[in-house]
Amino acid sequence: MNAVTSPARPLVDTFGRHISYLRISVTDRCDFRCVYCMAEDMTFLPKKDVLSFEEIEAIAGAFIARGVTKIRLTGGEPLVRRDIMELVTTLGGRIGHGLDELTLTTNGSQLRRHAQGLADAGVRRLNVSLDTLDAERFRAITRRGRIADVLDGIDAAQAAGLAIKINMVAMRGVNDDEIEPMMAWAHGRGMGLTLIEGMPLGEVGIDRVDSYLPLRELHDLLARRYTLSKLDKRTGGPARYVHVAETNGVLGFITPMSHNFCESCNRVRLTAAGQLYLCLGQDDQVNLRDALRDGGPAALDAALDHAMLIKPKGHDFVIDRSRPEPALGRHMSVTGG
Q: What domains can you pick out in the chain, each with its CATH number?
A: 3-335 (3.20.20.70)
Question: Long-range contacts for 137-143 (Cβ within 8 Å, ≥24 apart)?
Answer: 137/174, 137/175, 137/178, 140/35, 141/34, 141/35, 141/36, 141/174, 141/175, 142/32, 142/33, 142/34, 142/107, 143/32, 143/33, 143/34, 143/35, 143/40, 143/205
Is residue 182 annotated as involved in ligand binding?
no
Residue 65, helix vs strand vs coil? helix
**Residue 129, marked binder:** yes
**Residue 124 assigned ligand-binding role:** no
Compute the distance between CA of residue 78 and CA of residue 39 in angstroms, rounded to an integer. Answer: 18
pLDDT for the residue 321? 40
Residue 274, annotated as binding a ligand = no
Q: Where are the beta strands (DSSP E) in 177-331?
A: 192-197, 228-230, 240-244, 249-254, 267-270, 275-277, 285-287
Annotated ligand binding at 235? The verdict is: no
Measured CA to CA, the distance from residue 168 to residue 181 in angstroms comes to: 12
Helix (H, G, I), strand (E, B) or coil at 70: strand
Residue 27: what pLDDT?
95
pLDDT at 313: 82
| 199 annotated ligand binder | yes
23 labeled part of a ligand binding site? yes
Residue 103 annotated as lining a ligand binding site: no
SS (H, E, C) 113-126: HHHHHHHHCCCCEE
Residue 192 marked ligand-binding: no
User: Binding residue per annotation — 76?
Assistant: yes
pLDDT of residue 84: 98
Does 52 carry a binding-site annotation? no
Distance CA 93, CA 101 (A): 11
* H or E element, residue 180: helix 179-188
Checking 54-58 for CB contacts under 8 A at 24+ apart, the result is 55/274, 55/289, 55/292, 55/293, 56/24, 56/26, 56/87, 56/270, 57/87, 57/90, 57/91, 58/292, 58/297, 58/300
The answer to the question of whether 85 is labelled as a binding residue is no
pLDDT values of the chain reduced to their tens digit, one per residue, 337 residues: 444 446 779 999 999 999 999 999 999 999 999 888 877 888 888 989 999 999 999 999 999 999 999 999 999 999 999 999 999 999 999 999 999 999 999 999 999 999 999 999 999 999 999 999 999 999 999 999 999 999 999 999 999 999 999 999 999 899 999 999 999 999 999 999 999 987 654 444 555 566 788 888 899 999 999 999 999 876 656 789 999 999 999 999 988 654 556 777 899 999 999 999 998 767 789 999 999 999 999 999 999 999 999 998 875 544 444 444 444 454 455 566 5
The verdict on whether residue 233 carries a ligand-binding annotation is no
- Output b/e per residue, 309-328; b: 16+ Cβ within 10 A: eebbebbebebeeeeeebbb
pLDDT of 121 reads 98
> pTM for the full model?
0.87
